[in-house]
Structure 1
Amino acid sequence: MLFSAGVYQQAVIGFDSRFVLFAQEMLRHGPSVFPTTYGEPYADYSAVSTLFIWLLSLPFGQVNSLSAWLPSAFAGAVIVTLMFRLLAPHSPRWALLSIALMLMTNTFITETRAVSLDLMLAAVAFAVFYLGYAADHFEARRRWWLILPLLLLGFGIRGPIGLVIPTGMLCSYFLINRQWQRLFGFGLSAALLLTVCVGALLWLADTSGGPAFMHDVVRMQFMGRMDGSEGASGSLYYFTGSLGNYALAYPLALLVLVVVWLTDARQPGPALRLVHYCTAAALIVMVGLSIPQAKKARYVLPMLPMLAIIAAYPFQVAQGRVFAWLRGGMQGLWLVMPAVLVVGLLIVQRQLTEPLTSIFIILGTLQAIAFALLFKSQWRAQALAICAVLALWLVYILVFEPVERRLYDTRTFSREAFAFVQKDPAPLVLHGMGKDAKAIKFMVNIRQDLQPVFTESIQTLESVAGPAWLMMDQSDYNALHGTVLGSLPPVLSGRFDKNDFVLIHLQKP
C-alpha cells in the first residue's frame, strides 16, 4: 500500500512512458513475445514485464499509472517480506531496521514508484538467495525446486543479466561455505539453462521479426551493453556513485564492514556469517555489472537488500564500543530526519506551488513522536526509524512527485495537439523528437494507434508536402527562421517534457 499510495490517474513521465506504451499496444492488439511500438516489435526487452502490466490493466480496461506501477510495488513488497523472514530468526529488531534502511534509500524509493524491471529482478535475485540460505538454515530444502522457475522469470524480465545475477549471488553463498559440489553443479546447470534461454530468445526473435530483428536483439540486449554503445561509464562507477545513489545503506555498510574487519572478525556466529554471505553477494553484483560498459544506478538494485542488512548489523551486536557509536549515530540521524526535511522544504518553498501547511504539521507531529520515543529504550531504534521512513516517504509522495510530474508533463500538450489533428485530419510530423525518445512520450498519451512521420533534418522537414501537422521543440522552430516553415505561426505552444514545444499547421501548397 505504501509503494502504490496516491497512484491511479497520474500522468506518465520519463522512462515509464516506454513500458506504458508497450502495455497500451498489447491491450489493443493482444499479447506477443516482444513488446511493440508503432505496431513493430521492440528488440531491447521481452514481453514478460509488459504482460504483468497488461494483466493488471485488464480490469480497468486501460493502462494507468496504478496498473503500470503495481508489478514494481509487488516486487518491493516481496523483498521486504523475504528480508524479514531471513533476519527475524536472528533478531526481529535487525530485520525491521534493515527494512527501514532500505526504505530510506533514494534509488529504492524512486524505483518502487515507477515501472522498474531492475526492482523486479532484485526481488527474483533476493528470492533465489533466500531459498539457498533457507535450505541450509531453515530446513526448507523442499522449496529448492522454486529456484528454476525464478531463474526463468529473471531471464524473462531482464534477459541474460536476469539469470546471471541471481546465479552469481547464490554461487557466492556456496563459495563462502565451500560447498564445491553445489557450486559447480548449480553453476553448470545455470550455464546450460542460460544457453537454452538465449537460443530460445533468438529463435523467437527470428520468428517474430526475421533476421534483421534478431540482429537488433543481439545488439541491444547483448553487445550494446557490453561495448558501451548504449552509454558507457567508468569501471568504478558503481563503487563510487553508490555513495549517493544508495545512501544511507551503502556508506553505512562500508563503515560497518570496516568495523567488523577490525573488531569482530574473531567472533564468528550465525549473524556474522550472514553478513559475510550478504557481502559476497553484493560484491558479486557490483563487480559483475562493472564489466559491461553500459552502467546505470538502478542496474545494481539487487545488491541493496544485502547492503541494508549489513548496515543494520550494529543493532544485532551487543558488545563493542564502536558498534555502540554506530548505533547512536544512526539513531541520531533518524531522530532529526523530520526536522531536516522541514528545513529543506522551507528553503525551496518559494519555488513550489503546492501548499505545504498540512505537510509541515505532519512532519512536526512525527518529530514530536520521535522525541517522545527517544526515552523508550526497548523500542527506540525501531520507532525512530519508522518516523524517519514515514517522513521521507511523505515528502517524496506529496511534494517531490507532484513537482516532478508538473515539470516533465507531456500529457497536456500531447492531447491538445492531437485534438487539433483530429479536427482537421492530416499526417503528423514529429521533428527532431526521435522515434525511441521524445516521440514515445507523445505516443503514450494518444489513446489509439498512430503512425507519425519522423524527420531529423531541416532539409527532410522542408520536403514534407502539405497538408500536415508539424510538432517540434521551440528551438528547432527558431532554427527555421528565414524559411517558409519558419514563417508559419504556431497554432499551439506549450510545455512538453520540461521544454517549450510548438504545433504548426502546414496547409496545402
Structure 2
Amino acid sequence: MLLVVVLAGIGLRWPWPADEPRFALIAQEMVNTGQWLIPHRVGELYPDKPPIFMWAIAVLLWLKVPMKIAFLLPSALAGIGTAWLTVDLAKRLHGPRVATWCLWLLAFTIQFSLQSRTAQIDMLLVFWVTLGGYGIARHLLLGPAWGWYFLGFAAAGFGVITKGVGVIALFLLLPLIWRSDLRQKMAKKAWLGPLVLIAAIATWGLPMLWYAAHSSNPEAMAYRDNILFNQTANRYVHSLGHKKPFWYYVVEVAPVFWLPLSVLAPFLVKTWWRDKVKPEILLPLVMVLATVLFFSISPGKRGVYITPAVPWLTLAIAPYLEQLLSRVWPKRLWMAFAWLLSLILIVAAFLHKVLEQLGTHGRVFLLGTGIAMALALLLTRRQSPMHRWGWTLAAFWAGYGFIGGPALDSIRTPRDIMVEVAKRIGPDGQLALLDYKEQFALFADRPVTQFGFHGPMDEQRASARDWVQRGPQYYVLGPKENMEQCFEMKPEDNLGERHGGIWYLVSAKELKAGCEPGVTPAPLYKGPDYGLYQKP
C-alpha cells in the first residue's frame, strides 16, 4: 500500500512548479556541464540551496534514468526510507502490532504522501531528520548504542547540507535537560557527536569553501556567503518571503495536511500528559512540539516545513490507536473527513470554473478519483477506520498518479508554448528569456540566454533591448507585464497564459524607441541544451 501511495504514476508526468522544474533543470545542468560542486541555473550560480538533492537527481540522470522518473525518485526513496525507520523504531519500542499501525498512519498522512510524490528538497530532509532522530533514539531508549548515536549526528549534518535545518534532528536531545535517567545514557564521548556533525557538513562544505577561495570568481564567493549566512540564520530571522502569522501551522496547515493525525491527536492530550514520564512517548512528542515551535518562530513559513514532525507524531499516536478506535467520536470524525474529501472531488468535477482551468481530462481525473474513493469507503464499511482511510487515500493517490498526472501535464508545464517558440524562431534562432521561470528553460529545445534570475527588471530589459538588436534571428520570450515597457505587444506574438503570466515572443521589430535609456544592462548567462526535446 505504501508503494502504491509513493510510486503510483511515476514516469507519467514532467516536473511541475513550484520547485520541481528548478531542481530538475539544475540536475540536468550538472550532468551536461560537468559542474557538480556548486549548482547552476541557466549558467548562473544558484545560491539558495546546497546541492545534495540536486545531486540525487543528477546521479540518476547520469545513469540514463529518464527525466520523468529521475526527478521524482529521490523523494520517493526518501519517503520509503523514512517509513522503514519509523516503523522499525515503533517495532523495537512497542512491538510489531503497534509498528503496523504506525505504518498505516504514516503512509496515509496527507503531507507525508504528498511530499513523497513531490520533487522538492523537503522529503530528503525528512529522511535525514528521521535517521538522525532514529540513531539518537536507539541510543537513549534502547542503548547504549554509540554507533547509532554518532550516525544520528552524521545524518543531522547531511541534513544541514541538504536544506540547512537538518540540526532539528537534535531536538530529540532536549529532554536531557530535565531527565536525569536519560542523562545517565550519556558519557564523555557523547561530546564527539557535534564533531561528527561538523565532519558530515565538511564533506561538501570544505570543497565548496576551497573552490570559492581559489576560483577568483566573485559569484562563487557570493555563493559561499549566501549559503553560510543569508540562507541560514538571516533567512530564519528575517524571512525573504512566505510571511505568515505565528499560529499558521497549527491553524492553517496541520488540520488538513496532517489528516488523520490531526483528528486523533486532540483525543490523546490528557493521555500524553499522563504518560509523559515514559521516554518512548516523551521523546517523539518533544520532537513534534519543538519542530513546530521552531518553524513557527520564524516569520517565513511554508506548510511543507513542518513535515519532519509527521513521523514522530505517528510514533506518539500509534501505541494508543486501538484505545482510540474503541471510542465513538474519533471514528466518526475520521470517516467524516474521508467522505468529505471524496465528495469535494466529485463536486469540483462539475464546477464550470474547474472545467475552464483543468479541461475535460482534469474533470475525468476529479470525477473518477472521487468516485473511486467513495467506492473504497463503501466496500470497506465493515473494516476499521484505519483500513478504510488507507484504501480511500490509496485510491486518491492512484488516481492522482495514473490519471491526474497525464491529464494536468499540459496545464502545469509550458511544453506547448516552447514547441510553438521552436517553430517560430526556426532551427537557427537564438532565444533569451526575460523574467523567466525555470520550466521555460528546461523545456526549450536549444540553449537559452537569461539576464540574471534575481536581477533588477530595468537592467534585464536593457539587456533584452541589446540582445534583440544583434540580428534578425534573436528573440526574447517573457511575460507581458515586464515586456510591454520596451516592446510592442502584438496579438500575433501572444503565446498564451501560463504560470502566472501572458507570454510573448518578440524580436527587434517590436522594440520601442527609448527602451530603458541610461540603464546599465544586466550580465548575460547562457545555459546548456537540456536535451528534453529534439530540435524541430
Report the TM-score, using the length of structure 1 for normalisation.
Answer: 0.81
Which residue, 30, 36, 39 being the options, matches 1:35?
A: 39
Look up the match of 1:105: 109
Distance 1:115 1:140 in 2: 37
Letter in 1 for 2:387: A
Look up the match of 1:362: 372
- In structure 1, the residue corresponding to 2:380 is in which secondary structure? helix
Residue by residue over 1:68-93, the C-alpha shift from the partner in whole angstroms, topping out at 9 and shown as x without a partner, is 11111111111211222122342444
Q: Say if 1:261 and 1:32 are closer, same or farther in 2 by CA, change over 3 A.
A: closer
Which residue, 192, 213, 220 being the options, matches 1:206?
A: 213
Look up the match of 1:73: 76
- Gaps (5+ residues) in structure 1? 318-322, 375-379
Once the two structures are superposed, the pairs formed by residues 110-189 of structure 1 within 5 Å of their partners are: 110-138=114-142, 141=145, 143-144=147-148, 145-159=150-164, 161-162=165-166, 164-172=167-175, 176=179, 178-180=181-183, 188-189=191-192
Residue by residue over 1:381-428, the C-alpha shift from the partner in whole angstroms, topping out at 9 and shown as x without a partner, is 5432432332332344356555654433222212321443343423x3
Q: Please say which of residues 198-207 and 232-241 is displaced more in the overlay.
A: 198-207
Aligned length: 479
- Gaps (5+ residues) in structure 2? 512-536
Distance 1:404 1:342 in 2: 19
Look up the match of 1:284: 290
Q: For the Cα contact (< 8 Å) 1:128–1:170, is it kept in 2?
A: no
Distance 1:50 1:337 in 2: 36
Distance 2:43 2:197 in 1: 29
Q: For the Cα contact (< 8 Å) 1:493–1:502, is it kept in 2?
A: yes
Distance 2:300 2:445 in 1: 33
Q: For the Cα contact (< 8 Å) 1:491–1:505, is it kept in 2?
A: no
Q: Say if 1:247 and 1:147 are closer, same or farther in 2 by CA, change over 3 A.
A: closer
What displacement does 1:332 show?
3.4
Q: Say if 1:26 and 1:488 are closer, same or farther in 2 by CA, change over 3 A.
A: same
Q: Please say which of residues 250-259 and 493-502 is displaced more in the overlay.
A: 250-259
Which residue, 426, 444, 448 being the options, matches 1:450?
A: 448
What displacement does 1:299 show?
1.7
Look up the match of 1:430: 433
Letter in 2 for 1:502: Y
Q: Say if 1:97 and 1:487 are closer, same or farther in 2 by CA, change over 3 A.
A: closer
Residue by residue over 1:28-50, the C-alpha shift from the partner in whole angstroms, topping out at 9 and shown as x without a partner, is 12252221112333222222222
What displacement does 1:112 show?
1.1
Distance 1:153 1:470 in 2: 40
Look up the match of 1:320: none
Q: For the Cα contact (< 8 Å) 2:255–2:263, is it kept in 1?
A: no
Q: For the Cα contact (< 8 Å) 1:246–1:304, is it kept in 2?
A: no
Distance 1:184 1:292 in 2: 34
Look up the match of 1:7: 10
Look up the match of 2:393: 389
Q: For the Cα contact (< 8 Å) 1:49–1:117, is it kept in 2?
A: yes
Q: Say if 1:129 and 1:300 are closer, same or farther in 2 by CA, change over 3 A.
A: same
- In structure 2, the residue corresponding to 1:451 is in which secondary structure? strand
What displacement does 1:215 show?
2.4
- Whether 1:297 aligns to 2:308 is no
Aligned Cα root-mean-square deviation (Å): 3.5
Q: Please say which of residues 244-253 and 4-13 is displaced more in the overlay.
A: 244-253
Distance 2:443 2:314 in 1: 38
What displacement does 1:12 show?
1.5
- In structure 2, the residue corresponding to 1:216 is in which secondary structure? helix
Q: For the Cα contact (< 8 Å) 2:9–2:405, is it kept in 1?
A: no
Report the TM-score, using the length of structure 2 for normalisation.
Answer: 0.77
- In structure 1, the residue corresponding to 2:38 is in which secondary structure? coil
- Whether 1:505 aligns to 2:507 is yes
- Whether 1:343 aligns to 2:349 is no
Q: Say if 1:153 and 1:223 are closer, same or farther in 2 by CA, change over 3 A.
A: closer
Q: For the Cα contact (< 8 Å) 1:75–1:123, is it kept in 2?
A: yes
Distance 1:279 1:24 in 2: 40
Distance 2:21 2:178 in 1: 41
Residue by residue over 1:138-180, the C-alpha shift from the partner in whole angstroms, topping out at 9 and shown as x without a partner, is 5582642433442332222123x22x11122244468646433
Q: Say if 1:448 and 1:395 are closer, same or farther in 2 by CA, change over 3 A.
A: same
Which residue, 214, 217, 220 being the options, matches 2:227?
A: 217
- Whether 1:237 aligns to 2:248 is yes
